[in-house]
Structure formats: C-alpha cells, structure tokens
Structure 1
C-alpha cells in the first residue's frame, strides 16, 4: 500500500512538472511569435517609409492641393525633417492594414471561434470607416474650411504657413473625421453591452441632428449654413446606418 501511494505521488508530481514545462514553452512560443510579428511590422513600416521618401514630392502635392499655395520652413534642417515626417506618415498609412492583420493573427488563439468573425468584422469595419471619414474630410470638408480661413488675410496681414504647422493641422483634421465616422461601431458596441431598442434610437434622432450641427460648427468654423449642413449630413446618415445595424443585430438575436 505504501509503495502504491509513493508511486501515485511520483506520477502526480511528474505530471505537475510536465504541465509547468508546457506552460513555460507556451509562454516562450508566444513571446517568439510576438517578436517575429513586431519585426515583420517594423520591416513593413520601414519599406513603406522608404517608398514615401522617394515619392515625397507627389505625397506633398497631394496634401497641399486643398490649400493651393506653397508651404515654408523656418529652420535650415526644416525641409529635411519635414520630408522624413512625410515619409514615416506614408509608411504608417500603408502599413496600417498589415499591422491590424498581424495584431488579429496574434490574438486569434485567445478569441473564441464564435467571436472571431465578429472581431474581424469590427476591425475591418473600423478601418473602412476611418478611411471613409478621412477621404470625406480631404475631398469635401477640408477645402471648405481652408477657403473660409484664408478669407481672414488682408493687405496688412498675410499668411505665411509653415509646412510643419500645416501638416499637423491636416493630420488632426483628417484623424478627427476618421474618429467621427466610428459612430456606427460605437453604437453596435454599446448595443452588445446594453441592448438598445429601435424606438429608443429613433427618439434620439433630434438630439443627434442638433449635435451633428454643433460638431459641424466646431470642426468647420464657417458661418455659412450650407457648409455646416454639408458637414452635418454625414453624421446624420451614419446614425441612420447605426440604427439599421443595431435593429438587424437585435432581430437576429431575437431581442428586438
């Protein structure tokens, strides 16, 4: 009997040791995988930045097109540093889908199989809405805002816009609209946490319309009602899209 107990304890102890070794190997495998994916992402970012450096003239012409006037730098190395900023920015934009893909692949084993499609859909939808918001800002909103702001110059006061300040302004502007276009996904996430009713979302429409015009007035400081309406329409349409997505999601889950 004693011998059997001793053998049983040895088996249990050996099993624990084996489990601990497997856990250590699993952690090491995850660390190595993370390192390899980071190296791939940094390499992709470097390649994109190098490409951005060689195509800097075209990228800069694309960014300056809404302004319609040349930019200036105020230090001897300002032109070189600005070129590097343009190159890194281009590399990041090109690398962003690859970064999202690598991040999703790394966390995929920890995500339940049922939720993988939802996570992929949310990430893909977020990226699409971000690009759509930035495109709308560049082609529609930004020219209107720059045209309005340029009217404040006079014969006594002339604008001398530096390259770095303009680049910072444009990036902040585009990023703001990219985040603003995330409204449907925000409502979908809230609906997953606290189910929203269709009638409740419809009652909020007046507040959303009012808020859309307030946001339009802040993002584009134009007193013209037509321009503010152009800015508010996408927000209102995005809210309508969010209502449809939430209604369809609740209908599929049977909670509507």
Structure 2
C-alpha cells in the first residue's frame, strides 16, 4: 500500500470515527432533553395496557430499582429511535462522496422512506397492535386472577414489539435495494411468493413474543409490505437504470 493510499485509508477511518461520534452525541443530547420526562414517557407507552386492566388493578414493580431504571431505559430507547434521521444522515454523508450521481438520486428517497417506514411500524404497533394484543391477554385469564403487570416485563414486551414492527416495515426498502443492486429481481421474488408467506410467519415467530396473535399481526403486514416492495422495485431495477443511462 502506497503512502497516499495509507493516508487516504487513515482519513476515512478518522471521518468514520467523527460520524459515529456525532451519531452518538445526537442520541445523548436527545436523551438529556427527554430524561426529565422519563416517567411521563413511560406513562404514555403504558397507556394501552392501563386502558385494558380491570378496575382497581395497577402495574407493579417486583424489583426495587425498577421504578427508576424502567423509565430511564425507555427514554434511552426513545432517544435512539428519535435520533435515527440524524444517524442515517451521518451514514449518508460518509458514503455519498463515493457514489455516482444516479446512485445518489436512488438512495436519497430510499433513506427518507426507510425513516418514514420505521416510524410507521412503531406507530402501527402502538395504536393498532398493542391494544388488540393486550385486550386479548387481559380478557382470557381466569376471573379469580388479579392482573398486575410488572413495569419492567411490560417494557421489554413493548420494546420488542416496537423494534419488530419498525424493522418489518423496512421490507419494501430492502426489496428495492436488492433489486436495484442486481442481487435478485422482481420476477424471481414473485416466483418465491409461497416461501415468503412461510418465511413471514417464521420471522414473526422470532421477532415477537411467543403468542400466535402477535405473530399473525406482524406476519400479515410483512406480506402486504412485501407486495408493496415488489410494486416499487420495478422502478429500481438494474434494467431500469441501464435504460435511463442509454436515454
């Protein structure tokens, strides 16, 4: 490796370090701004559960430190989720200089749509999935049972669902990138549609808590998003890019 190449490699590492530090700093700043409202944030996330609990039932803390650490942990995740646009911007700023102009035109809408889809997945989980799942679980137990969920257990349950739906909603973006890169094609994916149906339920089984309702509520949107990805991928194939360059 020549001295010029070595210095260039070191320069890339330094820039990567700076981008990572900026991303982490954005998470820290958002966390500092929100930590005062940690209890309020937890109350908002717990609202779907509170609404389904029987009268005179409350959430409990089985660990002495849980009343402090559960809202603290949730606020940290909220800061991470809130900083995703900044994190993606740092990633884009790092890779953009090495891209061609037509690649930049393709990746900008992909990055923007990935942010929108991720937040849409979390919103869908909070407003649609959580009320259905929690109402089901609180209504099927024995009548003599007093339901008092632990705040840490509920937080783990909710965060797992939020992350699962946020990632699952990125399916159209993943399909567009795969088709654009030439790793696969729309025709090939259509032929594998039956396997995708099985795969959606298998993935949902690993991403969601061990209950059929949560898995089904994730698998069905994944299949719908798969079809949306096939529709959009027609505009992001290698063939389309070649035709545009020839014109």
With structure 1 as the length reference, what TM-score do the two structures score? 0.74
Measure, in 2, the Cα distance between the counterparts of 1:231 and 1:127: 19
Question: How much does 1:147 deviate?
Answer: 0.7
Q: Which residue of 2 aligns with 1:221?
A: 212
Q: Which residue of 2 aligns with 1:42?
A: 24
**2:221 aligned with 1:234:** yes
C-alpha RMSD of the superposition: 3.3
Q: Which residue of 2 aligns with 1:118?
A: 106
Measure, in 2, the Cα distance between the counterparts of 1:179 and 1:85: 20
2:131 match: secondary structure:
helix
Give the count of matched residue pairs: 232
1:156 aligned residue (118, 138, 144): 144
Q: Which residue of 1 aligns with 2:231?
A: 244
Question: How much does 1:121 deviate?
Answer: 3.1
Counterpart contact for 1:48–1:91, Cα < 8 Å: yes
**2:167 aligned with 1:186:** no
Q: Which residue of 1 aligns with 2:39?
A: 57
Give CA deviations for 1:78-104 in whole Å, capped at 9, x if unaligned.
Answer: 212223212211211221211111122
Question: How much does 1:253 deviate?
Answer: 4.2
Question: How much does 1:216 deviate?
Answer: 7.7
Within 5 Å, which residues of 2 pair with 1:126-205?
A: 126-191=114-179, 192-198=181-187
Measure, in 1, the Cα distance between the counterparts of 2:84 and 2:201: 31
Q: RCO higher in 1 or 2 (8 Å CA, sep ≥ 6)?
A: 2
Measure, in 1, the Cα distance between the counterparts of 2:63 and 2:219: 40
Bigger Cα displacement from structure 2, 147-156 vs 24-33? 24-33
Measure, in 2, the Cα distance between the counterparts of 1:34 and 1:253: 30
**2:64 aligned with 1:82:** no
- Structure 1, unaligned runs of 5 or more: 1-15
Change (3 A) 1:239 1:90: closer
Counterpart contact for 1:50–1:87, Cα < 8 Å: no
Task: Choose 1 or 2 for highest CA Rg.
Answer: 1
Question: How much does 1:136 deviate?
Answer: 0.9
Measure, in 1, the Cα distance between the counterparts of 2:114 and 2:185: 21
